[in-house]
Amino acid sequence: MDSSQLFGIAMIAYLLAAAFYLGLFLFKVERIGLVGTLLALGGTCAQTAAIGLRWHESYQLGVGHAPLTNMYESLVFFAWCTSCFYLALEYRFKTRIMGAFVMPCVAMAMAYASFSDRIDSQINPLIPALQSNWLIAHVVTCFIGYAAFAVAGGLGLMYLLKQSAATRPNRSGRGMTDALPSVQVIDDLTHKTIVFGFMWLSAGIITGAVWANEAWGTYWSWDPKETWSIITWFLYALTLHARFTRGWRGRRIAWLAILGFIAVFFTYFGVNFLLSGLHSYGSA
């Protein structure tokens, strides 16, 4: 068994998990949700093993390095972080239904990494610019932040759904969103997730700056990736301040969580594929 097969298994587990979580959302049968959780857990375990194996394989090829160095590996790592973060949240807050909003995103990231012809899944040796321990610190911190923001975006969506269902009296008896946690709980979770993500995004930007200074002699050069990461950071700082000091809650924060995730998404993908700069290893 090699790592790509294990990644395939993880991808299938995530796709099924997403389907079951959506099933839970639609039919509200708790057992369906349990299957979703087990699949997500299984997928995460398989992926953990796959990442470890890929790391090992890179050493066997004589180009050993942590599997965090190109678009494929970062997507996989993003999926893994998001899934881990989600499972921890599910365990802590006992709200399985969130999976319907998060797991599709994980499954999509994995499927895109595996099937897109823009993405090369080969293990390649590290070019000189990437040969630094800061690479690991930078990628790990950034992606924990991204994972949290992905979850926060999903929660924002969930909030809007729940709220629009609550304000519109239901005609057909029980609504789809009844099983969702109350708006207060979603709101609180969104906020906590954003706070967590903001810590890590800050750390990610900082480790990136230190690395840039080590490699190029400038900690900040306003290249598109850096700029978009600081735009994202501004946006979340704005969200936090609006909440702390202006008392924004609910709808507005939910929208900002979604907007924030769009910014994250653009920082990650848009910049690589649409703009040019030092970071665009993704298009190579």
By CB under 8 A, name the binding residues for other proteins.
Answer: 63, 124-125, 127-129, 131-132, 188, 195, 198-199, 202-203, 206, 209-210, 213-220, 222, 224, 227-228, 230-231, 234-235, 237-238, 241-242, 245-246, 271, 275-276
From the list ligand HEM, other proteins, none, pick the one residue 195 interacts with, judged by a Cβ distance below 5 to 8 Å according to partner type. other proteins
Nearer to ligand HEM, 21 or 236 (CB): 236
DSSP 47: H
User: Which amino acid is present at 63?
Assistant: V
Residue 237 in the binding site for ligand HEM (CB under 6 A): yes
Distance CA 152, CA 52 (A): 28
- Yes or no: say if 90 and 99 are a contact pair by the CB < 8 Å rule: yes
b/e sequence 63-89, b meaning 16+ C-beta within 10 Å:
eebbbbbbbbbbbbbbbbbbbbbbbeb
Quick one: which segment of 67-75, 100-108, 206-214, 238-246 binds ligand HEM (CB under 6 A)?
Answer: 238-246
Interatomic CA distance for residues 151 and 194, integer angstroms: 9
Q: CB 225 → other proteins: shortest distance, Å?
A: 9
CA dihedral for 205, 198, 260, 83, sign (positive or negative):
positive
Choose between 167 and 245: whose C-beta lies nearer to ligand HEM. 245
Minimal distance in Å, beta carbon 220 to other proteins? Answer: 7
**Residue 235 binds which of other proteins, ligand HEM, none (CB < 5-8 A, kind-dependent):** other proteins
